[in-house]
Structure 1
Amino acid sequence: MTNVSRWAAMLALLFATAAWGGLFHAGKLVLNNVDPFWFTVVRYTGASLLLCGILMLQGKVRWELLREHWRRLASLGLMGYGMFGILVFIGLSYSVPSHGAVIMATMPITTLLMRWVFERQRPQLWAWCVVALAIFGVSLVSGVWRSSTGAGHSTAFGDLIAFVGTVGWIMYTRGQASVSKLSVIEYTTFTAILALPGLFAFAVVATLLGYANRPDPADLIAAIPPILYIVVVGTVLAALAFNKGVRTLGAVHGIVFINLVPVSALLISAAKGSVPNGSEMIGTLLIIVALSIQARKMGLGAKAAK
């Protein structure tokens, strides 16, 4: 890996995490008109069409790889685009954008624990300290320690749903290594295409059970501006940039960059006039400190391994 490719990967990851910071604010606007299930269908239908166009512009499409790995790609797409996309925005409907971004930033910590479960790589003592620090930070941001009544109500329920959703994105990120024959654009496009039938089925079932409402055309038209940002910038460009960074630096190192998502989200909140309260700022700072420690420890470990 050259210095140029390493820096290009880091810039790609920085772009992706900055775009995701804005995604939560745009998503909150969409949720005023469209529920999370149908919003996810609309989001990834548009993203799939755009990704297919980009892929075809690059030349011959290797559809045979899609047919060869369709089961694996479909399951990864449902975890990354379905589980993550739906649950995070259900959680957002009970919470606020800055909280969703902070929950997303805990993915490096969750990844550490998942490696212990699936790969038997037991975390060291410093890692447990990082986990404890990050969890305490999340509890401050979510308002777990505040009364459930009044203006400063707890958003713990929505934040917990969003946290469960992030596990799907971690599995999607880790799964990229299992289909290394595919390029970044192929992996991103094929998983999006194969996830669509499942996403549509989830939305239909949720509607029949009364958990979702099919949006009216007027609702979709009213939400066009934020949907365009989410589809083009927050989904297609961000996913391509993130997968490119992960392909170059590896899943564990790539996910560490997600600690910048709450920073961009909080800056956007402040710019809109919604200044974070003291516990939110302290909690976010604790999470960033925890993730910075993890990133430094991982970097030192990588150097020692060389």
Structure 2
Amino acid sequence: MNNVSRWAAMLALLFATAAWGGLFHAGKLVLNNVDPFWFTVVRYTGAALLLCCILLLQGNVRWTLLREHWLRLASLGLMGYGMFGILVFIGLSHSVPSHGAVIMATMPITTLLMRWVFERQRPQLWAWCVVALAIFGVSLVSGVWHGNTAEGQSTVVGDLIAFVGTVGWIMYTRGQASVSRLSVIEYTTFTAILALPGLFAFALVATFLGYAHRPAPADLIAAIPPILYIVVIGTVLAALAFNKGVRTLGAVHGIVFINLVPVSALLISVAKGALPNGSEVVGTLLIIVALTVQARKMGLAVKASQ
């Protein structure tokens, strides 16, 4: 791997993390017009169409693999796109963008705990220390100790809902190993296609029960700019850029860049004139330290095994 490819990979990862930081700000704008259920339908319908175009341009699409693994791919898509997409934005509707970004950054640590549960790989002592530090950081950012944002509104419930949603994305990511014959673009596209019927069903049921409201054409038109950003940049291009960076640098080094998602979100908030309070800054720094230590320890373990 030469310096050019290494720098290209790092720039790709920086682009992805910056895009994901902006995703929460754009999502907050969309939620002013479209509820989380129908927003998820619109988001992944657009993403699936764009991904299909990219896949078709590559040629030789292996549709037989979609038919062979359709049930598993559909369930994984519903966890990744449905559970994650809906719950995170329900949480965001009761919270603020910087909190959502920080909660997203805890996924590597949640993954560590899930590996212990499902694979019986018990974390070492340093891992428990990292988990404790990160959880304390999340509690500071989420306002658990004072319970309110600068506007006096509690974000605890919203942040907890968003955190539960991230478990769906972790399950979706872990599921790739069970269909390893698929390329990254095939896995991403096939799961998006097969998740759409379920996403529509969720939205219809939620609407019938009164938890969601089908958006009027005027609401969708008003939300077009942030929706375009979320679909094209925050969903499709960011995922492809992140996967490209990880393929070049490796997962151990690539995952460190997730630490920059909350930083990106906070910087965007500052640029918009909404300065973070002291607990948000301290909490974000603690999570960054925790995740960096985890990635560093994992990197040393990989080197020792080589």
For the aligned pair, the TM-score class normalised by the smaller chain equals over 0.9
Q: Within 2, Cα distance between the matches of 1:150 and 1:262?
A: 18
Alpha-carbon contact 2:149-2:155 (below 8 Å) kept: no
Alpha-carbon contact 1:146-1:152 (below 8 Å) kept: no
Rate the CA distance shift 1:70–1:7 in 2: closer, same or farther, 3 A.
farther
> Which runs of 5 or more structure 1 residues have no equivalent in the other structure?
none
- Residue 144 of structure 2 corresponds to 144
- Residue 213 of structure 1 corresponds to 213
- Residue 118 of structure 1 corresponds to 118
- Residue 104 of structure 1 corresponds to 104
How many pairs were matched up?
306
Q: Within 2, Cα distance between the matches of 1:220 and 1:192?
A: 21
Alpha-carbon contact 1:6-1:248 (below 8 Å) kept: yes
1:53-85 Cα deviation digits (max 9, x unpaired): 111111121111111111111111111111110
- Residue 32 of structure 1 corresponds to 32
> Which runs of 5 or more structure 2 residues have no equivalent in the other structure?
none
Q: Within 2, Cα distance between the matches of 1:28 and 1:172?
A: 24
Q: How does 1:255-294 map to 2 (within 5 A)?
A: 255-294=255-294
Q: Sequence identity of aligned pairs in percent?
A: 89
AA of the residue aligned to 1:135: I
AA of the residue aligned to 1:297: K
Alpha-carbon contact 1:17-1:260 (below 8 Å) kept: yes
Name the stretch that deviates more: 251-260 or 44-53.
251-260
Q: Within 2, Cα distance between the matches of 1:185 and 1:77?
A: 14
AA of the residue aligned to 1:232: V
Alpha-carbon contact 1:106-1:287 (below 8 Å) kept: yes
1:255 deviates by 4.0
Alpha-carbon contact 1:101-1:265 (below 8 Å) kept: yes
1:14 deviates by 2.9
Alpha-carbon contact 2:255-2:295 (below 8 Å) kept: no
Alpha-carbon contact 1:29-1:223 (below 8 Å) kept: yes
Q: Within 1, Cα distance between the matches of 2:242 and 2:77?
A: 15
- Residue 174 of structure 1 corresponds to 174
Q: Within 1, Cα distance between the matches of 2:40 and 2:74?
A: 16
1:176-214 Cα deviation digits (max 9, x unpaired): 222121111111111110110000000000000110000
Alpha-carbon contact 2:16-2:241 (below 8 Å) kept: yes
Name the stretch that deviates more: 19-28 or 72-81.
72-81
Q: In the alignment, does 2:80 pair up with 1:87?
A: no
Q: In the alignment, does 2:53 pair up with 1:48?
A: no
TM value normalised by structure 2: 0.94
AA of the residue aligned to 1:68: E
Rate the CA distance shift 1:188–1:289 in 2: closer, same or farther, 3 A.
same
- Residue 17 of structure 1 corresponds to 17
1:265-296 Cα deviation digits (max 9, x unpaired): 00100001011000000000010011111111
Q: Within 1, Cα distance between the matches of 2:2 and 2:231?
A: 32
Alpha-carbon contact 1:130-1:290 (below 8 Å) kept: yes
Aligned-partner SS, 1:274: coil
TM value normalised by structure 1: 0.94
